[in-house]
């Protein structure tokens, strides 16, 4: 995959990252309320320079990922504000399952943007031939868990097989899309 076609929803655009997004991405990944749930790489982002390095790595990696894996920016159509990011990754250790993850700048929480973007990227991933997607969340990450359910994901269990920590696992299949609450 060289680049993903831009995806649109009523309120959002999902597009590839660009390194020039660093200042706009910092309020997402530089926010403690967001980074605390994410990888050490993200927890180390405290300034635009660090954000640029992370985006550089994401942009470089994107063409070499196994489709539909990728990382995307989520932009509000109304005013062009970069409200967050999405990622679809192959879960370690076997890299058979794809994990969907959402990240919003804290002042964009509470509007349904993660749900809207999550549904759209899931539909796109299913169009690529994927039959199921997973989300994993720490038990205390209640907002992430609520979003997973809103998208239409179902709880399938608890595991320590990914990332060496105990996580709640959610799954969505094509027929589940849109089954969650609004
Ligand atoms: C997880 C995260 C993306 C959820 O953000 P969010 O805004 O709560 O998510 P949603 O898009 O599902 O929005 C739901 C909220 O918007 C409200 N909402 C308003 N309009 C809505 C609409 N059109 N559709 C759905 N929800 C709507 C809902 O009532 C709900 O509000 P509430 O939380 O006050 O009950 C955000 O908390 C975050 O970035 N967390 C840090 C990163 C993280 O943990 N990511 C997950 C890793 S597993």
Quote the pLDDT of residue 165.
Answer: 78
The atom number, within ligand 1, closest to the CA of 113 reads 11
pLDDT tens track for 134-157: 999 999 999 999 999 999 999 999
Task: Grade residue 180 by pLDDT with cuts at 50, 70 and 90.
Answer: low
The atom number, within ligand 1, closest to the CA of 105 reads 39
Quote the pLDDT of residue 182.
Answer: 59
Q: Ligand 1 within 6 A of 141 CB? A: yes
Quote the pLDDT of residue 161.
Answer: 77
The secondary structure of residue 38, as a DSSP letter, is S
Quote the pLDDT of residue 1.
Answer: 44
Average pLDDT for residues 36-58, to the nearest whole number?
Answer: 94
> What is the arrangement of strands in the sheet containing 70-76, beginning at the earlier edge strand?
7-8, 12-16, 70-76, 82-90, 98-104, 133-137, 167-172, 154-159
Architecture of domain 7-17+68-176: 3-Layer(aba) Sandwich (3.40)
- Arithmetic mean of pLDDT over the chain: 92
Confirm if 17 and 59 have CB atoms less than 8 A apart. yes
Q: How far is CA 124 from the centre of its chain?
A: 13
Task: Grade residue 4 by pLDDT with cuts at 50, 70 and 90.
Answer: confident
- Nearest-CA residue for ligand 1 atom 10 is 112
Q: Ligand 1 within 6 A of 25 CB? A: no
Task: Grade residue 181 by pLDDT with cuts at 50, 70 and 90.
Answer: low
Q: How far is CA 123 from the centre of its chain?
A: 14
Q: Using the mean position of ligand 1's atoms as its centre, give its distance from the Cα of residue 64 in Å.
A: 30
pLDDT tens track for 49-99: 999 999 999 999 999 998 899 999 999 999 999 999 999 999 877 778 899
The secondary structure of residue 26, as a DSSP letter, is H
Question: Which residue do the tokens 């910092």 mark?
Answer: 26
Q: Ligand 1 within 6 A of 182 CB? A: yes
Task: Grade residue 119 by pLDDT with cuts at 50, 70 and 90.
Answer: very high
- Nearest-CA residue for ligand 1 atom 2 is 144
Q: Ligand 1 within 6 A of 34 CB? A: yes
Q: Ligand 1 within 6 A of 143 CB? A: yes
Is pLDDT of 3 > 70?
A: no
Q: Ligand 1 within 6 A of 37 CB? A: yes
Quote the pLDDT of residue 91.
Answer: 86
Considering the chain, what percentage of its residues have pLDDT values greater than 90? 80
């Amino acid at each position: 995959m060289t680049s993903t076609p831009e995806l649109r929803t009523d309120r959002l655009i999902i597009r590839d990252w660009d390194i020039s997004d660093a200042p706009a991405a910092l309020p997402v990944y530089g926010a403690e309320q967001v980074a605390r749930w994410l990888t050490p790489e993200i927890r180390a982002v405290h300034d635009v320079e660090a954000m640029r390095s992370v985006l550089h790595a994401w942009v470089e990696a994107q063409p070499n990922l196994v489709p539909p894996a990728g990382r995307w920016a989520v932009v509000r159509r109304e005013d062009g504000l970069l409200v967050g990011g999405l990622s679809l990754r192959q879960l370690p250790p076997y890299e058979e399952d794809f994990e969907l993850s959402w990240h919003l700048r804290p002042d964009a929480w509470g509007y349904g943007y993660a749900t809207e973007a999550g549904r759209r990227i899931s539909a796109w991933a299913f169009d690529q031939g994927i039959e199921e997607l997973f989300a994993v969340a720490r038990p205390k990450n209640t907002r992430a868990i609520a979003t997973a359910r809103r998208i239409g994901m179902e709880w399938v269990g608890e595991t320590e097989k990914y990332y060496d920590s105990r996580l709640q696992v959610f799954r969505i299949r094509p027929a589940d899309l849109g089954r969650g609450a609004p």
